[in-house]
A and B are shown apart, each in its own frame.
Chain A
Amino acid sequence: MNAADFFDAGLAGLVLAVAAFAVLSRNNYAAVVAFVAYGLLVSLRWVLLRAVDVALTEAAIGSGLTGVLLLSAAAKLRERAGGANEDARRCSPRTRLVAAVVAIVVTVGLGAAVIGLPDPSPTLAPLAGAALPDTGLGNAVTATLIAYRATDTLLEKVVLVLALLGLWSLAGEDVWLGRPGLKQRADPDGVLAYLARRLVPVGVLVGLYVFWVGADHPGGAFQGATIVAAMWLLAMMAGLADTPPVAERRVRLVLAGGALVFFAVGLAGLALGEAFLAYPVAHAKAIIIAIEVAMTITVAVTLALLIAGTPERPA
């Protein structure tokens, strides 16, 4: 066993231990913190597997964004319980038993599927690599997302908008189509406002950089958009920016923009007589960048508004 194996085994053990803690913890906050740590450890594991794109996404979405969502859910649960002990609100043993059985069946099924995979597994990787020059991209992951499996990515954009619509529809009658989230009252001369003023410009630049290098290196629209979304949220938390009313036309246009541009390109491909979402090779790179720009803006705004939550104030 060499040093790398030793490190690997330690990391795997740590991932399992943190996962067990997140599941078994009786305190919601502790469970969420463990979940965030779990995501960061898993992304370290992805780096070791040389899947840096997946690692970036896991850290940004799986750990960061989902962690914030779960934290605010935990806070809301505690608010509803009126600060009473959380144990009083736990679901019945029967519900938990059913949940445990479902989780175990899914896990065992997944495990069996993975172990049963043929070896060597069938792969399209050589084909994908051979076609890479036609897309004008250097990163096979980006090519897969925007070119080879473009339909999946298009539908993913639609799902994001649907998720946001579902969230908005939870708003009460009096704040319907209002502004998401509570009004933030941070000290305008405080630490948070200072952090937001200094970090947001740098963070937006980093987000755009991650998006731009995604063409040839690990990175891409989704990861870059998450960073930009985080910066917008920081400005909101510091009271430097307010959430827009969800009825605003500009907001809705931006939210639909990613999927609309994607769809328009797809139809153009059909009109030119090839296929839905077929890009002419000569202009593939330009088309891909256009889609990615629209997608980055849409994803950034969608993710930020998902975190901002349901409308809670009149516009």
Chain B
Amino acid sequence: MSTIANVATIVLVTAGLLFFVAGTAGLLRFPDPLTRLHALTKADNLGLGFVVLGLLPQVDGLFAALKLLVVWALVLFSSAAASQLIGRAAYRERDGTR
């Protein structure tokens, strides 16, 4: 049972890290704020999501598992809102309406 849990952790966390690497590469290489934001949100949402899912088999107790999920939900919510705000600022700057 613990072997299955460990394999699941390794696979899921690795998948999450891949999203972080891809997101970081995009953040560094993409040409303008909107595309960079696109790359970054993938790292935030999917990367962190996979890492959290991967850590779930390792925690002891329901409360600790719930805390991990709440962390993910809070990051999802605030990064979605923050990327909206940054995106709109970048959009307005490009249009010259600011």
Give chain A's interface residues, CB within 8 Å of chain B.
191-192, 194-195, 198-199, 202
Contacts and interface: CB of A to CB of B under 8 A. Distances in A.
Contacts of A195: 77-78, 81
Interface of B: 74, 77-78, 81, 84-85, 88
Which of A191, A192, A199, A202 has the most chain B CB within a 10 Å cutoff? Answer: A191
A153 B70 CA distance: 32
A202 B84 contact: no
B77 A199 contact: yes
Main SS of chain B's interface residues?
helix
B85 A192 contact: yes
A25 to B, nearest CB: 17
B21 to A, nearest CB: 15
A28 B35 CA distance: 24
A282 B19 CA distance: 54
Main SS of chain A's interface residues?
helix
A223 to B, nearest CB: 16
B81 A202 contact: no
A218 to B, nearest CB: 13
Nearest to A187: B88
The 8 closest A-B pairs by CB, nearest first: A195-B81, A191-B84, A191-B81, A191-B85, A192-B85, A199-B78, A199-B77, A195-B78
A194 B84 CA distance: 12
A300 to B, nearest CB: 19
A202 B85 contact: no
Contacts of B78: 195, 199
A199 B78 CA distance: 8
Nearest to A196: B81
